[in-house]
Amino acid sequence: METLDKIFAQIVKEHKSTIYTVCFMFSKDSDEVSDLFQEVLINLWKGYESFQNRSSIDTWIWKVSFNTCISYERKKQKRASLPLNMDINLFEDKDEDSRQIRQLYERIHKLKPFDRAIVLLWLENMSYEEIGAIVGISTKNVSVRLYRIKEELKKMSNQ
């Protein structure tokens, strides 16, 4: 029989890209992404024994990751910080596709954390049912929110 530690390590190994995807959606800073990733792992570990397979492990990991990042974002907004500004971008892409993708993600980062989470899941090609299960709203509400979010993103492109 496998130990709880080994089972958990295997789950993390299989789902680390999902966790990183969520963390990167909430921050562009690599140090902050690492902090978020660690926070998610802590919360997954704390909640693992109480996970009762009421949903798939995938859904549970998405949900814990989102809730952790949203909570972190709220705490961060309460703290005043002075950002370190560098005048160079080591990862800047000059081609049109990269520029458009960067603009889309910049606009998505301007959304409220909950809306950002919904868009991320939608961009991951999840069904409205899956998105609703992860964020805790009805399928109909997912549809309505996505429509409103898309309209908000369109308005940002006109500014």
Please classify residue 36 by burial: count the beta carbons closer than 10 Å to its beta carbon, then call 0-12 exposed, 13-18 middle and 19+ buried.
buried
- Give the mean pLDDT of 12-31: 86
Band of residue 84 on the pLDDT scale cut at 50, 70, 90: low
Give the model's pLDDT for residue 82.
52
d(CA 118, CA 127): 11
pTM, full prediction: 0.64
Give the model's pLDDT for residue 90.
47
Q: What are the residue ranges spanned by the domains of the chain? A: 1-85, 94-159
- Give the mean pLDDT of 30-42: 91
Write the DSSP symbol of residue 96. H
The hierarchical CATH code for the domain 94-159 is 1.10.10.10
Q: Which is more confidently placed, 91 or 145?
A: 145
d(CA 39, CA 23): 10
Give the model's pLDDT for residue 22.
86
Give the model's pLDDT for residue 147.
94
CATH C-level class of 1-85: mainly alpha
Give the model's pLDDT for residue 95.
67
- For residue range 86-143, list pLDDT tens digits in order: 555 545 556 677 777 777 778 888 888 889 889 888 988 889 998 998 888 999 999 9
- Give the mean pLDDT of 19-44: 88
**CB 146, CB 112: distance < 8 Å:** no
- For residue range 51-75, list pLDDT tens digits in order: 767 778 888 899 899 889 888 887 8
Give the model's pLDDT for residue 92.
57
How many other CB atoms are there within 10 angstroms of residue 40's CB atom?
Answer: 26
d(CA 62, CA 73): 16
Give the model's pLDDT for residue 53.
72
3-class secondary structure, 29: coil
Give the model's pLDDT for residue 153.
87
